[in-house]
Amino acid sequence: MDKKPRLGTDPLSWIGDSRKKKGKQSKQKLQSKPKETPSVKKGLKPGYSRATLIIKDQYLEKLKALAYWERKDIKEVINEALEKYLKGKKIKPLRKEVS
């Protein structure tokens, strides 16, 4: 009777040296990784940013009422108000700090 080696005699043959694979994968991930969107821009249309502002309660109530009666979003009303306020103003751009 010839004994043939059974397939799969080494129960741990599926375990390999993962150190070699890890280095290659991490380099590939770094190269192919797209730029991450900053959290202030996630879920927004291009050209928009998310910001938190502190305003007087009376202004907020007026903005909400105006937006309701004009059937607009609050952000639309604020954008229109800021556009009118900033129109024609000469504003120097901020300098970017070198770190």
φ, ψ of residue 97 to 5 degrees: the values are -75, 140
3-state secondary structure of 7: coil
Question: What pLDDT, on a 0 to 100 scale, did the predictor assign at position 14?
Answer: 74
Question: What pLDDT, on a 0 to 100 scale, did the predictor assign at position 52?
Answer: 92
Q: Angle formed by the axes of helices 74-86 and 57-69, to 10°?
A: 110
State both tokens at 53: 């502002």
Question: What pLDDT, on a 0 to 100 scale, did the predictor assign at position 75?
Answer: 94
Mean pLDDT, consecutive 10-residue stretches, the chain (99 aa), reads 68 74 54 75 89 95 97 96 96 84
Matching residue, tokens 């770190």: 99
Question: What pLDDT, on a 0 to 100 scale, did the predictor assign at position 10?
Answer: 75
Q: For the full predicted model, state whether its pTM sits above 0.75.
A: no
Residue type, 76: E
